[in-house]
Amino acid sequence: MNEQPPPDEPLLQVRNLRIAFRVDRRTTVEAVKGISFDVPRHATVALVGESGSGKSVSSLAVMGLLPADTTLIDPGSAIRFDGRDVLRLPADERRALCGRDIAMIFQEPMSSLNPVFTVGFQVGEVLRRHLGMGRRQARERTLALLEEVGIPDPPRKIDAYPGQLSGGQQQRVMIAMAIACEPKLLIADEPTTALDVTVQKQIVELLRRLQCERGMAVLFITHDLGLVGDIADHVIVMRHGEVRETGTAAQVFGAPRDLYTRALLHCRPSLHARPVRLPVIADYLEEGGPLLAEALPQRTRGYAPDDEIILDVRNLRKSFFTREGLFGTREFQAVKDVSFQLPRGKTLSVVGESGSGKTTVGLTLLRLHKATGGSALFEGRDLLALPDREFRPYKRRIQIVFQNPYASLNPRFTVGQILLEPMRLHHIGADDTQRVAMALALLARVGLPAQALHRYPHEFSGGQRQRIAIARCLTMRPEILVCDESVSALDVSVQAQVLNLLQDLQDEFGLSYIFISHDLAVVKYISDRVMVMQGGAVVETADADELYRNPQHAYTRSLLSAFPRGVE
**pLDDT of the chain, 568 residues: tens digit per residue:** 455 666 678 999 999 999 999 988 888 989 999 999 999 999 999 999 887 788 989 999 999 999 888 899 999 999 999 999 999 999 889 988 988 899 999 877 767 889 999 999 999 999 998 889 999 999 999 999 999 888 888 999 999 998 888 777 888 899 999 999 999 999 998 887 767 777 778 888 888 888 988 889 999 998 777 778 788 999 999 999 999 999 999 899 888 899 888 888 877 787 788 888 888 888 877 776 566 666 778 888 899 999 999 999 999 999 998 777 777 788 889 999 999 999 999 999 999 887 789 989 999 999 999 999 999 999 889 999 999 999 988 988 999 988 777 778 899 999 999 999 999 988 898 899 999 999 999 898 888 889 999 999 888 877 788 889 888 988 988 999 999 888 876 777 778 888 888 898 899 889 999 999 888 888 999 999 999 999 999 999 999 999 999 999 999 998 888 777 655 5
Query: What single-letter amino acid sits at 203?
Result: I
This prediction has a pTM of: 0.81
The one-character DSSP state at 512 is E
Q: Give every CB contact of residue 30 below 8 A, 6+ residues apart in sequence.
A: 18, 19, 20, 241
DSSP string, 92-123: HHHHHHHHHTEEEE-S-HHHHS-TTS-HHHHH
Nearest Cα neighbor of 434 from 449, 424, 426, 443 is: 424
| E strand or H helix that includes residue 60 | helix 55-63
Please state the φ and ψ torsions of residue 424, each to the nearest 5 degrees.
Answer: -65, -45
**Angle at which helices 415-425 and 432-445 pack, to 10 degrees?**
120
Sign of CA dihedral 409, 412, 414, 420: negative
d(CA 19, CA 55): 11
Give CA–CA dist 291/327, Å, rounded. 64
Scanning 247-307, the segments in alpha helix (DSSP H) are: 249-254, 259-267, 281-287
Adjacency order of strands within the sheet including 347-351:
398-401, 480-484, 512-516, 347-351, 529-534, 537-543
For strands 347-351 and 529-534, give the pairing: parallel
Q: Say how far residue 340 (Cα) sits from the centre of its chain.
A: 27
Strand partners of residue 349: 515, 530
At residue 1, the pLDDT reads 47
Q: What count of other Cβ atoms lies within 10 Å of the Cβ of residue 377?
A: 17
Pairing of strands 373-378, 309-324: antiparallel
> What span, in angstroms and rounded, lies between the C-alpha atoms of 87 and 82?
13
Q: Decide: residue 153, CB within 10 A, 0-12 exposed, 13-18 middle, 19+ buried.
A: exposed
Quote the CA–CA distance of 217 and 75 in Å, as a whole number: 27
| Longest CA span, the chain | 81
* Exposure class string for 16-37: b at 16+ Cβ within 10 A, else e: ebbbbbeeeeeeeeebbbbbeb
- What distance in Å separates the CA atoms of residue 214 and residue 216, rounded to the nearest whole number? 5
Query: ∠ at Cα 219 (2, 47), nearest 5°?
Result: 130
Whether 227 contacts 235, CB under 8 Å? no
Looking at 88-196, list the stretches that DSSP marks H as alpha helix, in order from N- to C-terminal side: 91-100, 109-112, 119-131, 135-148, 154-157, 167-179
User: How far is it, in rounded angstroms, from Cα 107 to Cα 109?
Assistant: 6
Which residues are registered as beta bridge partners of 84? Answer: 81
CA angle 304, 309, 315 (to 5 degrees): 110
Measured distance CA(275)–CA(294) in Å, rounded: 7
Instruction: Report helix, strand or coil for 484.
Output: strand
Cβ atoms within 10 Å of 120's Cβ, excluding its own: 20
Domains observed in the chain: 1-101+187-255 (3.40.50.300), 116-182 (no CATH), 405-477 (no CATH)
Which strands make up the sheet holding 217-222, listed edge to edge?
102-105, 185-189, 217-222, 44-48, 234-239, 242-248
CB 376 within 8 A of CB 363: no
CB 330 within 8 A of CB 513: no
